[in-house]
Structure 1
Amino acid sequence: MNLAARVAGRSIAGLAVFGALVFGPAGTFDYWRGWVFIAVFTAATLIPTGYLAVRKPEALRRRLRAGPAAETRPLQKAVIAIAFLSMAGMIALSALDFRFGWSHVPAPISIGGDALVAAGLLIAMSVVAQNSYAASTVTVEAGQQLSSTGWYALVRHPMYLGDIVMMLGAPPALGSYWGLLFLLPGIAMLVLRIRDEEALLTAELPGYRDYTRQVRYRLVPWLW
């Protein structure tokens, strides 16, 4: 299957899943926060994807190899499965929150949440544009070069930083505060993923050990 067909197929499947997770628990299509969230998520994903398809198709192919089945390390298979379930739970609980009115999120806060969703996704996608080896799976490929500039000069795992920003924004974007509870398992899975990934990178990627001495923070600047 060519790259364009794979992107189109993933996009259609992703929209179907998002629609089910948002509007099913919400119990209605009269949910402007849900529509805006899906539109923002789609735009912040597809626009950079189009750029990668034209300028860096190999980086995009690496990005498309995602999910538990694509991982080669047993711990990563479990981590990614739980992370996907956590994200799905966050969206579904946020939509349920809207349906039953557990939270009262002002419209400006929801718009701010959408801005965080867009920012987080754009951070993650810009990391892929900067580092063609920034795949969705934990692996070291033949000929892979260490990246230490741009986002990588700030934290060692900037793609996951983008994930956290996106997760912070998703629940308020959907009109929920309770959905933020899923930040805890989401961040816990990122910590496990990073520790296992760094063990692999230290062992197999030339220069990585020295890089960890230069850039102290793994995920969040001045914190960890």
Structure 2
Amino acid sequence: MTPSAIAWIWLVALALVMGALIFGAAGDLRFWQGWAFLAVFFAASALITQYLIANDPALLQRRVKGGPTEETEPAQRLIMVFMSFGFVALIVLPGLDHRFGWSQPPAIVALIGDALIAVGFFVVFLVFKANSFASSTVGVAEGQSLVSTGPYAVVRHPMYAGALIYLLGIPLALGSYWGLAAPALMTPILIWRLVDEERVLDERLPGYSDYRRKVHYRLLPGVY
């Protein structure tokens, strides 16, 4: 099976699983925030997938191999297990919030959340345009070279920065303040991942140590 077919099958399967988790937790198919979120999330995902199919199939092949079992570093396998559970909580908590009425933000909050998701995915898209080796696993591939242009000239881990933006947007898009507990817990795990990734890159990617000295911030310019 081709990487493009695998990518589309994976995307459809993910949509079905996420939809089941959201509406199962919410207990309400009229949960409009859930439908709007799924539309934004998977429209962005589909556009990026189609871009990679057309312009960078090698990167697409790297991206379809992800998750705890694909990681070669022991710490990264553990990190990805935690992140997987965190992502489930990210969409289940807002569904439960809707079911039990723990918080009731105005509709504008959901729209802001959808906008944050779109912005986060756009940042990830810029990363893919700049770096054909932006794999979903931590490591250095054969022939990989240092990238220091585009978003990498601003922060050292722009893909994680984009991910944090849409992780923050997800509970808001689903109309939940309580759901913000999930990205709050996932953020230190993501920072653990990128710090450990920098250790690997320092050891295996020529020029990375010099790059770290030139680009001071990991995620947010002027902050961290």
TM range (shorter): over 0.9
Separation in 1, partners of 2:23, 2:189 = 27
Q: Which amino acid aligns with 1:120?
A: G
Which position in structure 1 is the counterpart of 2:44? 44
Give me the identity figure in percent: 46
Asked whether the 8 Å contact 1:83–1:185 carries over to 2, the reply is no
Matches within 5 A, 1:99-118: 99-118=99-118
Deviation at 1:184, TM superposition (A): 2.3
Matches within 5 A, 1:145-224: 145-224=145-224
Asked whether the 8 Å contact 1:168–1:183 carries over to 2, the reply is yes
Asked whether the 8 Å contact 2:3–2:64 carries over to 1, the reply is no
Q: Which amino acid aligns with 1:169?
A: G
Which position in structure 2 is the counterpart of 1:88? 88
Q: Which amino acid aligns with 1:100?
A: F
Which position in structure 2 is the counterpart of 1:120? 120
Please state whether the residue corresponding to 2:159 is helix, strand or coil: helix
Please state whether the residue corresponding to 2:9 is helix, strand or coil: helix
Deviation at 1:143, TM superposition (A): 1.3
Runs of 4+ in 1 over 2 A off after TM superposition: none
- Cα distance per residue 1:131-185 (max 9 Å; x no partner): 0001100010111110001100111000000111011111111010000011222
Unaligned runs of 5+ in 2: none
Which position in structure 2 is the counterpart of 1:30? 30
Please state whether the residue corresponding to 2:95 is helix, strand or coil: helix
Separation in 2, partners of 1:172, 1:50 = 27
Unaligned runs of 5+ in 1: none
- Cα distance per residue 1:164-212 (max 9 Å; x no partner): 1011111111010000011222111111101110001011101000000
**1:134 to 2:126 alignment:** no
Asked whether the 8 Å contact 1:45–1:125 carries over to 2, the reply is no
Q: Which amino acid aligns with 1:130?
A: A
Separation in 1, partners of 2:195, 2:4 = 34
CA RMSD of aligned residues (A): 0.9
Separation in 1, partners of 2:3, 2:198 = 30
Deviation at 1:214, TM superposition (A): 0.5
Question: TM-score, normalization: structure 1?
Answer: 0.97
Asked whether the 8 Å contact 1:120–1:165 carries over to 2, the reply is yes
Which position in structure 1 is the counterpart of 2:62? 62
Please state whether the residue corresponding to 1:48 is helix, strand or coil: helix
Question: TM-score, normalization: structure 2?
Answer: 0.97
- Cα distance per residue 1:31-59 (max 9 Å; x no partner): 11000000100001110110110110001
Deviation at 1:129, TM superposition (A): 2.2
Separation in 2, partners of 1:130, 1:41 = 22
Which position in structure 2 is the counterpart of 1:98? 98
Separation in 1, partners of 2:87, 2:206 = 33
Please state whether the residue corresponding to 1:65 is helix, strand or coil: coil
Separation in 2, partners of 1:87, 1:117 = 14
Separation in 1, partners of 2:151, 2:84 = 24
- Cα distance per residue 1:54-89 (max 9 Å; x no partner): 110001111111100110001000101111111110
